[in-house]
Amino acid sequence: MIWLVGAGPGDSGLLTLRGYEVLKRADVVIFDRLVGDGVLAFMPETAEKIDAGKISGSHKITQAEIESLIISRAKSGKNVVRLKGGDPFVFGRGGEEAEAIIRAGLDFEIVPGVTSALSVPAYAGIPVTHRDYCSGVNIYTAHDRDNMIPDFADTTSVFLMGVANSSELQSKLLLTMSPDTPCAVIENGTTSSQRVIRSTLEHLHDSIVNNNVNPPAVIVIGKTSALNLNHCANLPLVNKKIIITRPEGRSEKLSMMLRDLGAEVILLPTIKTSTLHDALDGMKLSGYERIGFTSVTGVNALFEILAEKGRDIREIGNAEIAAIGSATKEALNNHGLKVDYVPEIFDGHHLAEGLAKLGGKILMLRAENGTPEIELVFRNYGINYTNVCIYRIDYVKLFCVPKFADIIIFTSSSTVRGLAENTSSLREALAVCIGKQTADEAVKAGFTRIKIAERADVESIVRACS
């Protein structure tokens, strides 16, 4: 199957649900230069990734070669996603690619994207239509074969890819439009590095040169360009690029809250977990006075193992349940288990210390390669405990690591190590960490700006970022 997918203007939150759904199913992703970092981070780890980005005057792969790649990979039985900035049918050459696919007799689907022609002005507070000012919008490319500019002086005109040709564009528009027509140039629209430069038509080119505007940028010309209805200008995290390193599927609530505060969020899982399905073979869960859980993953792994082995949680008998923090407690509650103990500080050291003071025969269900802190505390207290590893943590090989971030969120020591396995950059970012152990790992990795969330919950992480 082939999908021609519009990736939107840059912010990964503007990728459509259908676009995300099919991207996660891809065996092959052929992507363009203007696809945002956050969208690229959604590409499956196992997918073949082909950079087909084009810069004016320099094409890594010709259009004919791109079409050939799409068709050949699909004919070999692969799910192919052609990932294009904005919308595939708005100056994205999606029409040409669809025609080639049809000629090849292959099935395909168009997944429309949020076009930068409309969304980038909207993010800058510029409505491209407004009944008090104009009744239409023109969308052009300043990069086409003939560069023909129609005369529609009373409507909003949006020009994509016009920075390099801004002098010629300005000259042609001045033939039919007033020099004092409002203009706006929006650079890196919808991302944390968005800039809006406003001027009039007679100063358009100078404003681009004097402000060192670089592509991607959208030029908007017309009366509405003077308006500023920006919904996110006063949000506390506007212009902040935040990377979340939690495992896949664990960041939805955190991402939503950060986006609500204006941040550009990049989901970049640096670790993945896998259940150790034979971990409890031949072992009874009965006979323990307390059972400790160090993560939500551990809770889910236990119930996964019990279900597939035909076993029952009633094996634990009257054992008291301990959770490392509020999220783990909630996961246990969702499985019908009452939690008897949660430490005031949500980390392994304080969980182990609290259990040690309570005493009794203790079972810890945790990660195979988790922090050694728990064992050290139990040994210091001389506690009789059983440590059973029911899942393991592996580092993810990252295909695309952003060159810059304002904040990186680390929820465990392993997420720090996972990032360090992939890159030595990004150390100028503020590292927001859950717990002292994670912060200590961030120091080892070379981060100098570190902030520890008050508690190991989403709300505290968001406060630490703000």
The set of catalytic residues is 32, 54, 161
Asked whether 381 and 218 are in contact (CB, 8 A), the reply is no
Residue 216: is the preceding peptide bond cis (ω within 30°)? yes
Which residue reads 């960041």 in tokens? 251
How many Cα atoms are found within 13 Å in the side-chain-facing hemisphere of 313? 15
Work out the angle at residue 331's Cα, subtended by the Cα atoms of residues 328 and 332, and round it to the nearest 5 degrees.
Answer: 90
CA-to-CA distance for 390 and 363, rounded, in angstroms? 12
